A = this chain, B = another copy of it.
Amino acid sequence: MRDLSTGVEHLSINTATLRKQLPLPAIVEACARRGIAAVDPWRDQVAAAGLAATARLLRDAGIRLSGYCRGGFFPAADAGGLAAALEDNRRAVDEAKALAAPCLVLVVGSLPGALAGRPAHKDIALARAQVEEGIAATLEYARGVGMPLAIEPLHPMQAADRACINTLAQALDICDRLDPGRSGALGVAVDIYHVWWDPELARQIARAGRERLLAYHVCDWLVPTRDLLNDRGMMGDGVVDLRKIRGWMEAAGFAGPVEVEIFSEAWWSRPAEEVLDACIARCKTVV
C-alpha cells in the first residue's frame, strides 16, 4: 500500500466538500497553496466560473482532475426527457474533455420525478433498463471523445431518487455487458460512503480490477447518521475501516488519487481552510 502519511501528492478534493464556503476558483487556489495535486469539480461550480476560465485556472495552478462530477440521471418519464438527458450527458463528456478529466462520474438517476418528490412510476426495473441504455448511448459518444465513464453505485437509501445502481456488482455487470473487452472506456467510481456496508465489497473490487477502478472517494459513515444526504463524516469520525478498503483498491491495481468528498451541513458550516487542513491531516493518519 502507498504511504499517505508523508505528503499530499495522492490527495484530491471533491469540490462539493467546500461548495457552501467558496466558489471554485478559490477552492482551487486553496488546494494549490497546500500542494494538493487534484480536484474533482461539479458542473454547476464550473459553469459559475466558466469552462475555459476553469481549464486555464487549473493549468496555471498545476492541478489536475481526479474526475468530473457528474453525468447521469438518465431515466425520464417520456421520450423527450430521455433525449434531453442524453444530450446533457454529451455536454458533460465534452466539458470533462475540456478540463482533461480522467473520467466522467455517472450518478445514474432512478424513478423519474422522485427527486422532486413526485415519482412518475414505481418500476425500478424499468429505470434500471433505461439507465443501461443511457450509459450505452453515452459510452458510444464518450469513446469517440476519449473520455472514460465511471459508474458510481449509490447507497441503497438513495435508490428511489438518485441512483438505481446500488452495488458494485450491479455496476460491474453493466460494465461486463457494455465493455466486455475491459477497454478502460467504462468503469466504476468507488465511494466508500455508498459501498462500505456491502458484504461483497472485497470480492467486487478485486473483480473490477485496474481497468475498471476509475475513481476512489472517501469520507466516513457516522453513527448515528442524522440525514440521508448531508451528514457524511470526516475520515476517522465514523465506522468505516478506511485503510482496509484502500488496501483492497490498491491490491486490485488502483493507483489514482484518494478523493475526499464530504456532503455535510456540519463541515459546510466550518471555515474552508479548517476543512481542507482536516482533510489533509486525516488522509495522512487514517485513510
Contact = CB atoms under 8 A, between A and B. Distances in A.
Interface of A: 111, 114-115, 117, 119, 122-124, 128, 155-157, 159-161, 164, 166-167, 170, 196-199, 221, 223-226, 228, 238-241
Given A122-B239, A123-B241, A160 B198 contact: no
A159 B238 CA distance: 13
A287 to B, nearest CB: 13
A169 to B, nearest CB: 8
B240 A119 contact: no
Contact of A114 (B155, B160, B223, B241): B223
Nearest to A202: B125
- Copies of this chain present in the complex amount to 2
Contact of A228 (B122, B157, B160, B164): B157
- Majority secondary structure, A binding face: loop
B241 A156 contact: no
B228 A161 contact: no
22 contacts: A114-B223, A115-B223, A117-B223, A122-B241, A123-B241, A124-B196, A124-B241, A128-B199, A155-B157, A156-B197, A156-B198, A157-B225, A157-B228, A159-B197, A160-B239, A161-B223, A164-B197, A166-B197, A166-B198, A166-B199, A224-B228, A228-B228
Q: Which of A167, A223, A238 has the most CB of B within 10 A?
A: A223
A207 B157 CA distance: 24
A282 to B, nearest CB: 14
A75 to B, nearest CB: 13
A204 B173 CA distance: 17
Contacts of A239: 111, 114, 119, 122, 124, 160
A108 to B, nearest CB: 12
Most chain B beta-carbon neighbours within 10 Å: one of A124, A166, A226: A124
Contacts of A223: 111, 114-115, 117, 119, 160-161
